[in-house]
Amino acid sequence: MKTLLVIVLLLTPVAAFSAPGTPTPDARLDSYIALLRTDLKAERAAVIVSNMHFSDAEANAFWPVYNNYQKELSTVGDEKVALIKDYAAHLNQLDDKKAAELTARALAMEEQRLEIIKKYLGEFGKVLSAKQVARFFQLDMQMQRMIDLQIAAELPLVQ
């Protein structure tokens, strides 16, 4: 999947300098990540549409809440990208202090994501039945776990 390409790009050494007028490797990577995230959002929406079976009224009520949910989650995604970049930058010279920092950041990120999910359980519950909310979060968590698993499979273990 595309997330694997991002991880490979993050862990592949790049030249420190570019030709004048060309984007830096970091700028190219950031651009690629932005495109990838846009694509993943579209794929997630398609999975939701094909599995939720909304009526028109439900869809009209769901999507604004979903868009707010995704906007809040995107901040966690930004932090995850920054964390992976930081890990990749220190991979070969990771000391105990940096390892502890990265671990703390990763756990804080997971806590932040869980808090957003808890908040939106209530928000989605205002516009959908409890069974629909459960189905949505089941789909959402499955998709996120697949992405997380692919990222984890590509990241080298701390040495």
pLDDT digits (tens, 9 = 90+) for 49-104: 999 999 999 999 999 999 999 999 999 999 998 998 899 889 889 999 999 999 99
Tell me, yes or no, if the pTM score tops 0.75.
yes
Domain residue limits, the chain = 2-12+23-154
Closest CA to 73 of 137, 129, 133: 137
| 127 in Cβ contact with 61 (< 8 Å) | yes
Report the pLDDT value the prediction gives residue 102, as an integer from 0 to 100: 95
In total, the chain counts a number of residues equal to: 159
Mean pLDDT to the nearest integer, 140-144 = 93
Q: Are 132 and 58 in contact (CB under 8 A)?
A: yes
